[in-house]
Structure 1
Amino acid sequence: MEITRRSLLAALSATGLLAVIPAQPATAAGVAAGSTRLMANTVAVFAGTTESNSRPETAAKLAAVDNVARTNLRAMDSAGPGELFAGLVLGSNEANLNSAFQRLYEIALATCTPPGGTPSDLYGNTVTQRRVLDGLGWLHDHYYGDQSKGYYGNWFYWEIGLAQHISRTLVLLADEVRAYRPDLAQTYVASMDAYLRNGIDGDVNLDSRFHTGANLADITTNRILQGALLGEEARIRKALIDQLTVFATIDPYHLDHGVTDGYYADGSFIQHASVAYTGSYGKGLLTRVVQTLKILDGTGFAHGGELVPTVRSWVQNGFAPLIFEGWMMEIVKGRAVSRTDSGYTDVAVVVEAVVDLASLASGADAAALNSYVKHIRSTSRGTLDPGRFVSPVSVVRYADIIGDPAVPAEDLNAAARSVAFNAMDRNVHRRPGYAFALARSSERISKYEYMSGENLMPWFQGDGAYYLYLSGQDQSQAYGVDYFTTVSPYGLAGVTAPVEQRRTVPELYGKPYYDNPGHPLNFTSSSESQNTYVYFPRGTDQRSGGAVLGAYAAAGMVQSGDVADRDRHLLPDDFVVYRNATAIKSWFLLDEEIVVLAAGVGDPAGRAVTTTVDARTAAPGDQISLTGMLRGGRPWSGAGTGDLAWLRYANTTQRTAVGYVFLDTPQVRVSLDEVTRSRRVVRTSNPDTAVTRTVLGVTVDQEPGSEPVCIAYALVPNAGGTQLASYPNGPLRVLANTPRLQAVSHTGLGLRAANAFTPGRHEVAGLRMDGPASVIVQRRGHRGPTTVAVSDPTMGRDTVGVLIRGRSLRKVSSDHGVRVSPAHGGTRVDVDTRHAYGRSFTVTLQD
């Protein structure tokens, strides 16, 4: 079930929407009963039930809830004058105010959580509950209720974070609120409405850039709870209608309210208008909508089951490709790559949502989701701790899935799968034994995300940075925050960067943002200009995309400067702009090889440039070996720079290896260094913890003032030396590597693939294409069928044409919009790419 955003919003007042939101209950009693059920469901989600909490699997979760509450109560006991919690200073720090509300919620949660085998004096303790309500009243009187003193710092806390803790606390203690502080709910709801300053009249504004995607889901869920507290059906219904928009697939050619945040047809997820964000905001949205579906169950306010297939498609097409052996890939985490939580922790959040989604699904969908949960658990090298789940009920459901021998462990991915998330400039390529993840950028998608002192050195993360995950490895030893801590930001794998020293935003401006409200561009902490030029700048070239043919793919990108470099003449004099190096790059994603071509690699400003073939990290105690061969046939000495034919890196401790075949590459420098840095170098709020990694660097260096060069190499995951030594005899061949055209062939696969970057005709190896275009052609056997995939990497062309030279072929099958016709010297394939947004079109041809 796929809803387009356009059709959904057009139907908001039409009867078709009633499939999700039914007609209004006929009586006030119906509204009251629905509100009561909604609040009871909410308590069950967060506190569990007597049945769930009696299970031994929830013991760790219940103990954690109890311990946190008691710690918070001790902090209340020792609070001094003017404090609610000892040492928590309020009045100017919105994060501290958020902590105060969170601690009250955590105490309230313990009083509503049915104990397991050990009785708890907190459960049902009205004295403690009233203490929480008094704390809420005190915070409102002193630090929240006065609108003239509130709304400092980060808008998120005032419109989402604080309201989330407040709303949940009031729902948990709803009975005691009515009995003890009957005015409290109405008072707080009025204040929460007033703090919704990016809304309209205290409600959601779908035209606001602040009320989109995951943020919109959070706001509307808060308002659903508030509506239940007050028994206001209109608030609940309006919040549900607003939240329904996040279920709609974004149509980039017909944006509603100008919103680009959300899920796209190819599985991409975008937040902040242009940031690839499945692994952070995307998982937050997934969690929130699944929770909302649970709290709506049986209330009569919505038929949530109608939306389950849509969320299930997010899991299969949006999340599953990005999760490798229980690890969330770095390419979709934005600034969250600098946080100390690992990719395993990220996936645990997704697993809980999938567990609960499976309970809402039925038949084959439910079975597939259950099997995927077991697959993640069986393949993850990290400990998936259900004690960190939000809901005790989810802990029990997870235990039932894992413990059921009738549930097989099955991936939602095919063993061989290649996914082009062209809507967010990302690629994922999966094979048994490895997964390859690529981050591109363009005029549509940000080069990186920096914000709030997080991800301090992000400058090249969208310039073709890639990550090669090897099966069986503890990915936290290879990637995660320690990768970005110990690997130079100029030397991330896949990156071409000028040799220079850049300064972080706090170093440049003395604060986590650029401040110049008097300038015509109005630079303030959350202004549009801050977003455009500081937080998540986009590239300036439209050519970033590629084609997928079955389980193979070709991707390409023109590396550009960011918008600040382009708009230097518009920016304040003290705004620091950095200029990028240049490169035209392609990645051809095959079975045993990832082939990388780069042309026009250099710098018009004459700076030295370095291109990193790979950067890998290992624990300092791991046993690392480096072997290789020079082009003349002599063994490589294992140090410095050389004319390498191939190189093999092996981590014998982790039992992993990567080979590098240098197809047409200048001399390569290889380094293996022990690096120690503090995690604070990538995020100001990280603990000042020193980490040490053994860092491999494989680079191609260009001297200042040198002419642009071409580079061609292949990554060969899990390769042995004998395999690497065989590549001079095939099967790979570089057919073209220029700024206009890049192409390769693989004789073993019968495959040719090309990326044309400029307008006009491009001819290579029996293919003539109208550029810009991405094309893959495969023919297995002498008389076998020929399959073709075509994509428009600019996302702006109406048609793309390809001539396949040789015998005239007939069409056997094709996607809609593909036309085949005989032509002089071969077969003409014309594809209607208008409004396809980078989607691949395929056709099968036969003699």
Structure 2
Amino acid sequence: MRISRRALLSLFPTAPLLAAALPPAGAAAAAPAGHARLLANTVAVFAGTPESNARPEAAAKLAAIDATAGTRLAALDGAGQGELFRGLPLGTSDSNLNASFQYLYEIALATRASGGPESGLHGNATVRRRVIDGLSWLHDTYYGDPARGYYGNWFNWEIGISSHVSRTLVLLADDLAATRPDLAPTYVATMDAYLRNGENGDVDLDSRFHTGANLADITMNRVLQGAVLGDDARVRKAVADQLTVYRTIDPYQLRHGVTDGFYADGSFIQHASVAYTGSYGTALLARVVQTLKIFEGTDHLQDRDLAGVVRDWVVNGFAPLIFEGWMMDIVRGRAVSRTTTGYAAAATVVEAVTDLSAHMAGADATALKGYVKFLKETSAAAPDPAGFVSPVTVVRHADILADASVPAADLNAESRNVAFNAMDKTVHRRPGYAFALARSSTRVSKYEYMNGENLMPWFQGDGAHYLYLSGQDQTRAFGVDYYTAVSPYRLAGVTAPVETRRTIPELYGTLWYDNPEAGFTSSSEAQNTYVYFPRGTNAFSGGASLGAYGAAGLVQADDAAYAAKQAGTLPDDFVAYRNAEATKSWFMFDDEIVVLAAGVGDPAGRAVVTTIDTRIADPSDDIDVTGELRDGTAWSGTGTAPLAWLRYANAAQGTAVGYVLLDGPRPTVALDTVTRSRRVVRAANPDTPVSKKVFSLSVERPAAALAHALVPHATEERLRTYADGPVSVLANGVRLQAVRHTGLGLTAANTFARGTHRAGRLAIDGPASVLLRESRDGTTDIAVADPTTLRHTVSVTLRGRTLRADAVDDGVRVSPVPGGTRVDVDTWHSYGRSFTARLRP
């Protein structure tokens, strides 16, 4: 018989633990001088300084702090039985308990934020006493007995509540020392007792819960607790634990088995296998920049270039994923179903970069400040500094914007292709647009569902793409309304079987599959592996970058849950869905993205739909759909037709996308008005109806081969040129897919099987991704990658005249062979990265 987690917790005696953890009363008074600096820095981070708060730019932030506290005090006054704050009944809701602690923190913050409105909150000893009384009552009644607590979400008990409490203890440290010296050590002991996923009430670096952004949060809480108690050992242990977050993840030499964190190619993973730069990644960025600020002037981070490490995260990890102030949807996990937008996610980056710039010097500082200005100028919804955490940051942001010596500049080159192969994502940027591609594999999850969020995510990692157009408000094109209005089976770029799937709540009546006997509880490893974020069963997912050009490939397959169900390792009542099959490539140039698909179908005999693109528009937008048939006849409207090309234009938003149909069955054009509630994608969303015009271009049947090009901002005249245009398909099968772009002198190929595959001048020992560019001056550039991450060596032969190596990456060897030149690349343990070589006659 299995014992429930809560019952198991009740077996641990808490009284001895609490007694052993309690330092002597008044310990805070004995804090070393460094701890006093930590406390002062922390107050400055959250409440500002007299200097920052005297600036007019901080007034809106201070007013917001004050207004929030006033609202919380009114709720405190109106509380009923079993509540500390009106509307937050306690005893069974961990979310309400967490919110109650948050409200106390927000009141305490207003009492420390000087320079705000004349509300009487700043320095108000009576209000601070009410906060202390509230802390005491919550501990005595609902929090202080860990055997009774720990229901609901583990995050609230181990991170959320501790964050609010730790900050409140810092803000009220002097008051607590004077009136309740026992309360801080009592709370710290209880917080240790709730750290159930740790070891002996402390961080456990071997725990899957103590990684990445979560570890940064936990360790920062423990730093603040140590500073309040004057416990130097606690602070130093927390610092040492947090420093592990800054290490680049080496997938071949994992430390503590942790895959969460930043990789060499800029990828960020959380939850072991979820691409998460835009949510957990932004939380981590915010926390580590706060770390730099809180430890300033102490000896804890001396001789460490942590600011330089974080700067590299921003340049290589965050900046490629932000387009005109919008954080791309491919790295936001389940957060894509929330009503908070990609602009809000990017605002967190702006806030962090603003503060990070103060820890840099010279050109690095200028570049970061210029990026802050650039995002302000290009975003359709620039961040409101009043929403920043710190008044100090608000003032620093204002100073950057006012500094005429700093030019606004992107951290990205105008043209950039980034293969985030460690998280199975690709970003292709050009002036006027950005193309983002979501892949998955045996290494990276297909999607993330959790806690009733992202209810219909099934195909989000199966080659779903997002084409962001310059000058557009992306909230009208993507984000929660895109997922609400667009069928989950018809996301742009997806091949899906025609069937109806049910969400987790529909299947099981709860927010997860509940079967403790089989190892399925809300946060179990089985739940993560098969329900929350299942990985794929395909090894081929990746691609190569050559300068600003790219190739990516994916072999679409089932997820881990379906494979396990077929193997008989999951319970009979566990529901798993079979996927369609397809082999796909994306070749990314300047004016177009060429997409090939082969072997599109379903072994089970179901109908299959491949969606070339889907776009949404407001109901009042004037949508114009025009095209030309293969015989040259003009065409417009909707329906199925033998199209040579199609153009979608939205005059209201000033956007247009062209589609060149290079090969395949007749596509179907649809333009419908859809109205759905945002609650269909997230249970906690307001029941707000969303009405959108939904345009789709799709192929409604299996196909041996499909080929098309996406052409951003295309005119009809431009689309007509593709009849004799620069793009030609060299091969499109399940073993080899390749194209040639004559205008750029580029040949791009993905080989999906073993053996030698020929494409133009290339003879490729597959599987591999290869880009070849031949310049008029005789220079030949080549990029090679192993999308399987499993090969020791990839060999490519360039047929024709013999070439010599001019510049090559480490691990690349160039040698003459009869009839050409051979390039051998040592790809073992490279995790899919690109190797390049420049060759000359």
TM-based fold match above 0.5: yes
CA distance in 2, matches of 1:82, 1:824: 85
Q: Please state if 1:618 is matched with 2:612.
A: no
CA distance in 1, matches of 2:466, 2:87: 42
Assess if the C-alpha contact under 8 Å between 2:540 and 2:787 holds in 1.
yes
Q: Please state if 1:732 is matched with 2:727.
A: yes
Tell me which residue corresponds to 2:555: 558
Tell me which residue corresponds to 2:14: none
Question: How high is the sequence identity, in percent, across the aligned residues?
Answer: 67
3-state SS of paired residue (1:347): helix
Q: Please state if 1:829 is matched with 2:828.
A: no
Assess if the C-alpha contact under 8 Å between 1:293 and 1:304 holds in 2.
no
- Listed as ranges, the gaps of 5+ residues in structure 1 are 1-27
Assess if the C-alpha contact under 8 Å between 2:625 and 2:636 holds in 1.
no
Assess if the C-alpha contact under 8 Å between 1:34 and 1:301 holds in 2.
no
Tell me which residue corresponds to 1:815: 809
3-state SS of paired residue (1:752): strand
Query: 1:132 Cα shift?
Result: 0.2
Q: Please state if 1:722 is matched with 2:717.
A: yes
CA distance in 1, matches of 2:382, 2:353: 17
The amino acid of 1:50's aligned partner reads P
Q: Please state if 1:806 is matched with 2:806.
A: no
Q: Kindly report which structure 2 residues correspond to 1:168-207, keeping only aligned pairs within 5 A, or say none.
A: 168-207=167-206
CA distance in 2, matches of 1:226, 1:341: 31
3-state SS of paired residue (1:122): coil
Tell me which residue corresponds to 1:67: 67
CA distance in 1, matches of 2:292, 2:248: 18
CA distance in 2, matches of 1:31, 1:101: 25
Q: 2:786 aligns with which of 789, 792, 815?
A: 792
Query: 1:78 Cα shift?
Result: 1.4
Query: 1:374 Cα shift?
Result: 0.2
Tell me which residue corresponds to 1:839: 833
Tell me which residue corresponds to 1:696: 695
String of CA shifts for 1:312-356, please: whole Å, max 9, x gaps. Answer: 000000000000000000000000000001111111111000000
CA distance in 2, matches of 1:683, 1:814: 49
Query: 1:436 Cα shift?
Result: 0.2
Q: 2:707 aligns with which of 709, 712, 719?
A: 712
String of CA shifts for 1:277-319, please: whole Å, max 9, x gaps. Answer: 0000000000000001100001222228621000000000000
Query: 1:383 Cα shift?
Result: 3.3
- Listed as ranges, the gaps of 5+ residues in structure 2 are 1-27
CA distance in 2, matches of 1:816, 1:295: 40
String of CA shifts for 1:153-192, please: whole Å, max 9, x gaps. Answer: 1110111000000000000000001011100010000000
The amino acid of 2:43's aligned partner reads V
Tell me which residue corresponds to 1:50: 50
3-state SS of paired residue (1:74): helix
3-state SS of paired residue (2:551): strand
Assess if the C-alpha contact under 8 Å between 1:287 and 1:350 holds in 2.
yes
CA distance in 1, matches of 2:741, 2:609: 28
String of CA shifts for 1:631-674, please: whole Å, max 9, x gaps. Answer: 01111132200111000001111111100000112111001111
CA distance in 2, matches of 1:306, 1:606: 57
Query: 1:56 Cα shift?
Result: 1.5
The amino acid of 1:170's aligned partner reads L
Assess if the C-alpha contact under 8 Å between 2:705 and 2:733 holds in 1.
yes
3-state SS of paired residue (1:567): helix
Tell me which residue corresponds to 2:576: 577
Tell me which residue corresponds to 2:104: 104
Distance 1:72 1:29, change over 3 A: closer
TM-score by length of 1: 0.95
CA distance in 1, matches of 2:696, 2:673: 11
Q: 1:745 aligns with which of 740, 747, 771?
A: 740
Distance 1:267 1:795, change over 3 A: same
Tell me which residue corresponds to 2:489: 490
String of CA shifts for 1:737-771, please: whole Å, max 9, x gaps. Answer: 00000000000000001000001111121211111
Distance 1:396 1:304, change over 3 A: farther
Tell me which residue corresponds to 1:548: 545
Assess if the C-alpha contact under 8 Å between 1:335 and 1:454 holds in 2.
yes
3-state SS of paired residue (1:831): strand
CA distance in 1, matches of 2:108, 2:511: 35
CA distance in 1, matches of 2:127, 2:139: 18
Assess if the C-alpha contact under 8 Å between 2:30 and 2:230 holds in 1.
no
Assess if the C-alpha contact under 8 Å between 2:325 and 2:382 holds in 1.
no
Tell me which residue corresponds to 1:163: 162
CA distance in 2, matches of 1:841, 1:58: 49
3-state SS of paired residue (2:577): coil
Tell me which residue corresponds to 1:529: 526
Assess if the C-alpha contact under 8 Å between 1:33 and 1:299 holds in 2.
no
The amino acid of 1:841's aligned partner reads F
Tell me which residue corresponds to 1:17: none
The amino acid of 1:814's aligned partner reads V
Q: Kindly report which structure 2 residues correspond to 1:221-236, keeping only aligned pairs within 5 A, or say none.
A: 221-236=220-235
Tell me which residue corresponds to 1:767: 762
The amino acid of 1:559's aligned partner reads Q
3-state SS of paired residue (2:693): strand
CA distance in 2, matches of 1:467, 1:63: 38
Query: 1:263 Cα shift?
Result: 0.1
TM-score by length of 2: 0.96
String of CA shifts for 1:225-258, please: whole Å, max 9, x gaps. Answer: 0010011111010000000011000000011111
Query: 1:709 Cα shift?
Result: 2.3
CA distance in 2, matches of 1:792, 1:686: 41
Q: Kindly report which structure 2 residues correspond to 1:242-281, keeping only aligned pairs within 5 A, or say none.
A: 242-281=241-280
Distance 1:30 1:838, change over 3 A: farther
Query: 1:77 Cα shift?
Result: 1.0
Assess if the C-alpha contact under 8 Å between 2:626 and 2:635 holds in 1.
yes
Assess if the C-alpha contact under 8 Å between 2:629 and 2:644 holds in 1.
yes
String of CA shifts for 1:256-289, please: whole Å, max 9, x gaps. Answer: 1110000000000000000000000000000000
Assess if the C-alpha contact under 8 Å between 1:297 and 1:304 holds in 2.
no
Bigger Cα displacement from structure 2, 81-90 vs 556-565: 81-90
The amino acid of 1:816's aligned partner reads D
RMSD between aligned alpha carbons?
Answer: 1.1
Assess if the C-alpha contact under 8 Å between 2:279 and 2:333 holds in 1.
yes
Query: 1:29 Cα shift?
Result: 11
Query: 1:362 Cα shift?
Result: 1.1
3-state SS of paired residue (1:671): strand
CA distance in 2, matches of 1:360, 1:815: 33
Assess if the C-alpha contact under 8 Å between 2:31 and 2:229 holds in 1.
no
The amino acid of 2:527's aligned partner reads Q
Q: Kindly report which structure 2 residues correspond to 1:81-480, keeping only aligned pairs within 5 A, or say none.
A: 81-116=81-116, 118-303=117-302, 306-480=305-479
CA distance in 2, matches of 1:402, 1:304: 31
Assess if the C-alpha contact under 8 Å between 1:75 and 1:86 holds in 2.
yes
The amino acid of 2:514's aligned partner reads D
String of CA shifts for 1:717-751, please: whole Å, max 9, x gaps. Answer: 00100010110102000000000000000000000
Assess if the C-alpha contact under 8 Å between 1:775 and 1:789 holds in 2.
yes
Query: 1:30 Cα shift?
Result: 10
Assess if the C-alpha contact under 8 Å between 2:375 and 2:382 holds in 1.
no
CA distance in 2, matches of 1:147, 1:755: 55
3-state SS of paired residue (1:570): coil
CA distance in 2, matches of 1:802, 1:359: 47
String of CA shifts for 1:398-448, please: whole Å, max 9, x gaps. Answer: 111111111100000000000000000000000000000000000000000
Assess if the C-alpha contact under 8 Å between 1:806 and 1:826 holds in 2.
yes
Bigger Cα displacement from structure 2, 304-313 vs 62-71: 304-313
CA distance in 1, matches of 2:512, 2:596: 36
CA distance in 2, matches of 1:160, 1:582: 41
CA distance in 1, matches of 2:555, 2:464: 13
Assess if the C-alpha contact under 8 Å between 2:585 and 2:597 holds in 1.
yes
The amino acid of 2:115's aligned partner reads P
CA distance in 2, matches of 1:79, 1:693: 42
